[in-house]
C-alpha cells in the first residue's frame, strides 16, 4: 500500500520518486523512535486543545508506545511504497485504529516533524557521545597520575626540545577533551530547543500549546519564531558537526602521537600484541592499525561540517529539499566517532609505557634549559648562561643534571589534574541529562 502524507491522487514518475526519496528511508530508521516520541507529545497537546477526545488520545498513545518499542528494538521497517518514517507510523496507526490514526497530523507538517526528530535523535546521540568521552577522559587522567614521574622527551619542530612526562602527555589530551566538551555543550544547547509547532515554517491556525510539547519532550526551551525554527535545520547539524570535529581533532592528534611513539625509532609506548596487526610478508611487524584508522576516520569527520555548509550556505529562509541530503552525512557520524573513542579508550587503558627513555644519551641535550636556568639562579645573566651552555653542547662537554624541580601550575611536578577533573565535571553537569531522560521515560512509558 503506497503511503505519502502529501498524496493527492496523482501518480509521480517512478524515476523522480526514486531520485527524490534517495537514502531517506535508510536514514529515517535512525529517527523512528524519535518520530514516535514527537507524535506522543503532539497528540497529548492536541487533546488538551480539543482536537482529540480523551478516548482517541488513549488509543493513539497505546499504539504509539507499542510502535516505540518496535522502533527501539530495531524491528520497524519502512514498507515498499511508503515514503518515510512519518508516513510509516501514520500507516501503522490507521491500520489499527482507522480514521483516528489520520488525526495525528493536525497542526504540524513533515517539516517540523523531521526537525523535532533530528533534534531528539541528536540530543540522544550527544548524550552517548559525552558518556564515551567521559570514559576516555577518566583513562587519560588515570594514566597521567599513574605515570606522572616517568619522563619522556618533548618536541618542537619534531626535534628533541625539553623534558616532558607521560603525566603531561596523557593529561594534555584530558584537558583537550574539556574544551571539546565545552563545544559539545554549546552545540547541545542549540539542539535542545523545540521546533514542534512551527509546521511548514509559518505556524498554524490551531491554538497549539507549544510550551506543553516543549515540556513533554524535555526541551530546555522552544525555537520561538516559527520561521527561525525552519531556518535552524542545517544550522543545528552544522553546529553539532563542528563540535564533533573538535573531538575528532583531539583524537586524530593523539592517534598520530601513538603511531609515532610505537615505532621502533621512538619506542616510547607499546601496544598489547592482540591490539596490533601483522604483515603478509614481514613476520616481525606489529602495526598500530587502530590508531592509523582512527586518524583517518577523525580527519574525515572534521570535514562533515564543510559538507553541511556547502549544502546549506546558499539557501534562503524556508524549507528546501536540499536539507534532506544533510541526514546522509550527519546521522552516521555519531557511530563512527563513538567507535573511534571506544577503541582509543581501550588502547590507552592497556598501553605499556617505556619508563627508561631518557637513559639513552641521545636525549641528554633536552636538559640544556635546566642548566641555563641553574646558572641564572646563580646570578649569571640569561643570555650569557644560554651562550655558555650552547658552547658546552657544541664542544661535547655538556653534562646533564636529570634531577628536575618543576613546581608551577601545569608543569611536570604540578600537573593540576585535580583542577582539570573539576573543570570537566563542572561542564558535564551543565548538560542535565537527568531532566531529559526523566521527561522521555514518562512520555513513552506504558501505563
Residues 235 and 146 both lie in one domain: yes
Residues 392 and 311 both lie in one domain: no
Q: Count the domains in the chain.
A: 3
Q: What is the mean pLDDT of residues 337-366?
A: 95
Is 68 contained in some domain?
yes
For residue 381, give its domain range: 360-415
Average pLDDT across the chain, whole number: 93
Q: Within 13 Å of residue 350, how many CA atoms lie on the same side as its CB?
A: 11
Residues 144 and 79 both lie in one domain: no
pLDDT computed for residue 275 by the predictor: 81
Is 367 contained in some domain?
yes
CA–CA gap between residue 341 and residue 352 (Å, rounded): 19
pLDDT digits (tens, 9 = 90+) for 239-268: 999 999 999 999 999 999 999 999 999 999
CA–CA gap between residue 88 and residue 72 (Å, rounded): 15
Is 220 contained in some domain?
no
Q: What is the CATH number of the domain that holds 147?
A: 1.20.200.10
pLDDT digits (tens, 9 = 90+) for 398-436: 999 888 989 999 999 999 999 999 999 999 999 999 999
What stretches of 8-53 show up as alpha helix (H) in DSSP? 14-21, 24-48
Does residue 119 contact residue 195 with C-beta atoms inside 8 Å?
A: yes
Interior/surface letters 320-357, b for 16+ CB within 10 angstroms, e for the rest: eeebbbbbebbbebbebbbebbebbbbbbeebebbeeb
Q: Which of 56-65, 66-75, 204-213, 337-346 has the lowest mean pLDDT?
A: 66-75
User: Would you say residue 336 has pLDDT above 70?
Assistant: yes
pLDDT computed for residue 1 by the predictor: 44
Residues 323 and 430 both lie in one domain: yes
Is 212 contained in some domain?
no
User: Would you say residue 309 has pLDDT above 70?
Assistant: yes
pLDDT computed for residue 9 by the predictor: 57
Q: What is the CATH number of the domain that holds 39?
A: 1.10.275.10
CA–CA gap between residue 211 and residue 194 (Å, rounded): 9
Res. 74 pLDDT band, cuts 50 70 90: confident
Residues 86 and 134 both lie in one domain: no
The label of the residue with cell 577522559 reads 137
Final residue in a domain of this structure, among 106, 121, 156: 106
Residues 377 and 264 both lie in one domain: no
Is 174 contained in some domain?
yes
Residues 242 and 352 both lie in one domain: yes
pTM assigned to the model: 0.92
User: Would you say residue 381 has pLDDT above 60?
Assistant: yes
pLDDT digits (tens, 9 = 90+) for 142-187: 999 999 999 999 999 999 999 999 999 999 999 999 999 999 999 9
Res. 80 pLDDT band, cuts 50 70 90: confident
pLDDT digits (tens, 9 = 90+) for 182-237: 999 999 999 999 999 999 999 999 999 999 999 999 999 999 999 999 999 999 99
CA–CA gap between residue 46 and residue 51 (Å, rounded): 5
Residues 87 and 198 both lie in one domain: no
User: Would you say residue 24 has pLDDT above 60?
Assistant: yes
pLDDT computed for residue 441 by the predictor: 97
Q: What is the mean pLDDT of residues 356-364?
A: 94
Amino acid at each position: 500500500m503506497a503511503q505519502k502524507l502529501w498524496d493527492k491522487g496523482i501518480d509521480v514518475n517512478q524515476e523522480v520518486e526514486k531520485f527524490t526519496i534517495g537514502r531517506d528511508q535508510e536514514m529515517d530508521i535512525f529517527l523512528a523512535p524519535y518520530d514516535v516520541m514527537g507524535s506522543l507529545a503532539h497528540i497529548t497537546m492536541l487533546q488538551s486543545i480539543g482536537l482529540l477526545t480523551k478516548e482517541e488520545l488513549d488509543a493513539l498513545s497505546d499504539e504509539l508506545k507499542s510502535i516505540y518499542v518496535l522502533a527501539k528494538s530495531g524491528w520497524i521497517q519502512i514498507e515498499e511504497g511508503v515514503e518515510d518514517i512519518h508516513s510509516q507510523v501514520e500507516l501503522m496507526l490507521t491500520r489499527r485504529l482507522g480514521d483516528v490514526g489520520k488525526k495525528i497530523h493536525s497542526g504540524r507538517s513533515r517539516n517540523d516533524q523531521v526537525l523535532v526528530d533530528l533534534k531528539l535523535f541528536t540530543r540522544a546521540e550527544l548524550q552517548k557521545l559525552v558518556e564515551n568521552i567521559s570514559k576516555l577522559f577518566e583513562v587519560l587522567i588515570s594514566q597521567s597520575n599513574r605515570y606522572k614521574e616517568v619522563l619522556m622527551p618533548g618536541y618542537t619542530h619534531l626535534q628533541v626540545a625539553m623534558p616532558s612526562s607521560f603525566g603531561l602527555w596523557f593529561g594534555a589530551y584530558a584537558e583537550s577533551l574539556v574544551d571539546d566538551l565545552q563545544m559539545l555543550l554549546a552545540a547541545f544547547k542549540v539542539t535542545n530547543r523545540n521546533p514542534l509547532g512551527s509546521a511548514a515554517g509559518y505556524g498554524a491556525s490551531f491554538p497549539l500549546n507549544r510550551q506543553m510539547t516543549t515540556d513533554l519532550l524535555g526541551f530546555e526551551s522552544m525555537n520561538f519564531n516559527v520561521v527561525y525554527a525552519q531556518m535552524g535545520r542545517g544550522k543545528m547539524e552544522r553546529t553539532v558537526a563542528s563540535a564533533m570535529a573538535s573531538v575528532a581533532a583531539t583524537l586524530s592528534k593523539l592517534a598520530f602521537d601513538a603511531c609515532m611513539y610505537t615505532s621502533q625509532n621512538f619506542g616510547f609506548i607499546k601496544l598489547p600484541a592482540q591490539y596490533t596487526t601483522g604483515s603478509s610478508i614481514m613476520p616481525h611487524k606489529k602495526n598500530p592499525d587502530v590508531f592509523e584508522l582512527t586518524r583517518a576516520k577523525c580527519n574525515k569527520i572534521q570535514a562533515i561540517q564543510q559538507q553541511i555548509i556547502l549544502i546549506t550556505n546558499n539557501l534562503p529562509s524556508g524549507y528546501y529539499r536540499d536539507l534532506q541530503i544533510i541526514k546522509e552525512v550527519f546521522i552516521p557520524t555519531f557511530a563512527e566517532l563513538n567507535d573511534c573513542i571506544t577503541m582509543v579508550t581501550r588502547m590507552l587503558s592497556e598501553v605499556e609505557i617505556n619508563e627508561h627513555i631518557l637513559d639513552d644519551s641521545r636525549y641528554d641535550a633536552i636538559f640544556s634549559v635546566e642548566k641555563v636556568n641553574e646558572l641564572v639562579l646563580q646570578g649569571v645573566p640569561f643570555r650569557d648562561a644560554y651562550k655558555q651552555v650552547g658552547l658546552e653542547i657544541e664542544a661535547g662537554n655538556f653534562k646533564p643534571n636529570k634531577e628536575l624541580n618543576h613546581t608551577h601550575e601545569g608543569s611536570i611536578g604540578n600537573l593540576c589534574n585535580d583542577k582539570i577533573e573539576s573543570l570537566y565535571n563542572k561542564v558535564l553537569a551543565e548538560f542535565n541529562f537527568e531532566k531529559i531522560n526523566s521527561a522521555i521515560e514518562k512520555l513513552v512509558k506504558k501505563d
